[in-house]
Amino acid sequence: MGLSMEKSLNHPLAVTPSLARIAAPVACVDIGGTKVAVSMADARGIRGRVTEATIKQGTREALGEQVLALIERSCAQAGLAPESLSAIGVSSCGPFVLNQGLIELAAPNICGGLAGAARGLPNDWSSVPLEAPLRKAFNNVRIANDCVAALEAERRWGALQGFDHCAYVTWSTGIGVGLCVDGRVLRGKHGNAGHAGHMFVSDNNDALCGCGNIGDLEALVAGNSMARRFSGQGYADAAALLSAAQSGEATAVGIVDELCRVMGRGLYNLVVTLDLQRISLGGSVFWNNRGYLLPRLQAEIDGRLPALTAGVELVAAGLKDKVGDYAALALIEP
């Protein structure tokens, strides 16, 4: 796998997605556990990018209001009138729940009511409205799980072009997954297929997930869990821990090896459950340390159950650190 991994790390963004077919401007909204980003896209390209820390205080309506305010700011920055927008594409962390048929977010890294006070989020929300406030302001709104949207983007423009059995996995504030089998993106009963970040792969009970689970994959390895788990050992956050590991500091190397063992098991589980060909990886934790992490993750797959894993490749996202921008666009681009 050494050679192809080298290749996959360095592959160029082969084709810059053509936006020429976008007649009227559209808004691309990316809601994560740490930040919300909004950009405008039209035939001239993607521009007017504004971001803010994801709001986690105030009323349950705060997040919807934040998204609408950011759309307005992004419009202003791009020199567009909000009335000129033909569609709003929203790529958001999940899971989603429906309230009177409209999507609300029950996201573990936003809603403090899911795991209770022990998790330290400054609210007791069990879900927050998203689709309702957006539909009040705009006619054409499409919301999808961020990793499902990113998977669509990677299949259209990135590292998953031509692969009918594949996944996109983000290793970021949380762990998210988008899945494609037999050429079809999986949705599930409420559009929540891909919440494999909340599966159990280890007996380690040392970490509380924002969803209330103890010791699931996200609780153990997600970016936001690293600070909680390892700050006592002198690593303030994921960046500090990964940086120490990359410089060869023995304790950090040991911790990151174990994180890769756990994350690698999650990826292996996806491969054997769905008979996948390729997994594309993104997200800030992965992207900023991809050269260090990728071979350690691949090692957790290679050699196990060859009938399923032979030839299976982990690769860095073809859309690079822009995968989030293109994810929302993939929902609305004609």
Residues 6-65 that bind a second copy (CB under 8 A): none
**For a second copy, which is the closer residue by CB, 45 or 183?**
183
**For a second copy, which is the closer residue by CB, 75 or 179?**
179
Question: What is the separation of C-alpha 127 from the centre of its chain, rounded to a whole number of angstroms?
Answer: 19
CB of 51 to a second copy, least distance (A): 26
The stretch near a second copy (CB under 8 A) out of 15-23, 50-58, 206-214, 240-248 is: 206-214
The stretch near a second copy (CB under 8 A) out of 9-17, 59-67, 71-79, 275-283 is: 275-283
Residue 269 has phi, psi (to 5 degrees) of -55, -40
Q: Which residues of 300-329 are buried (b: 16+ CB within 10 A; e: fewer)?
A: bbbeeeeeebeebbbbbbbbbebbbbbbbb
Residues 81-120 that bind a second copy (CB under 8 A): 94-97, 106
Q: Is 307 in the site for a second copy (CB under 8 A)?
A: yes
Contact residues for 6 (Cβ-Cβ < 8 A; gap 6+): none
The stretch near a second copy (CB under 8 A) out of 33-41, 47-55, 225-233, 301-309 is: 301-309
The stretch near a second copy (CB under 8 A) out of 69-77, 154-162, 236-244, 264-272 is: 264-272
| Given 91, 213, 280, 284, the residue binding a second copy (CB under 8 A) | 213
**For a second copy, which is the closer residue by CB, 5 or 199?**
199
**For a second copy, which is the closer residue by CB, 73 or 261?**
261
Position of tokens 């029950």?
106
CB of 203 to a second copy, least distance (A): 5
- The closest of 279, 10, 257, 231 to 120, measured between CA atoms, is 231
Q: What share of the chain is helix, strand, coil (3-state, %, to 5)?
A: 40, 20, 40
Q: Tell me how far apart the alpha carbons of residues 232 and 198 are, in angstroms, rounded to a whole number.
A: 25
Q: Is 171 in the site for a second copy (CB under 8 A)?
A: no
Residues 185-204 that bind a second copy (CB under 8 A): 186-196, 198-204
**For a second copy, which is the closer residue by CB, 17 or 94?**
94
Using only the alpha carbons of the chain, give its radius of gyration. 19
Q: Is 174 in the site for a second copy (CB under 8 A)?
A: no
Q: Can you say whether the dihedral through the CA atoms of 255, 261, 264, 270 is positive or negative?
A: negative
Q: Which residues of 99-137 are buried (b: 16+ CB within 10 A; e: fewer)?
A: eeebbbbbbbbbbbbbbeeebebebebebbbbbbbbeee
Q: Tell me how far apart the alpha carbons of residues 38 and 51 are, in angstroms, rounded to a whole number.
A: 6
Site residues, a second copy (CB under 8 A): 94-97, 106, 164-165, 177, 179, 181-182, 184, 186-196, 198-204, 211-213, 265, 268-270, 272-277, 304-308
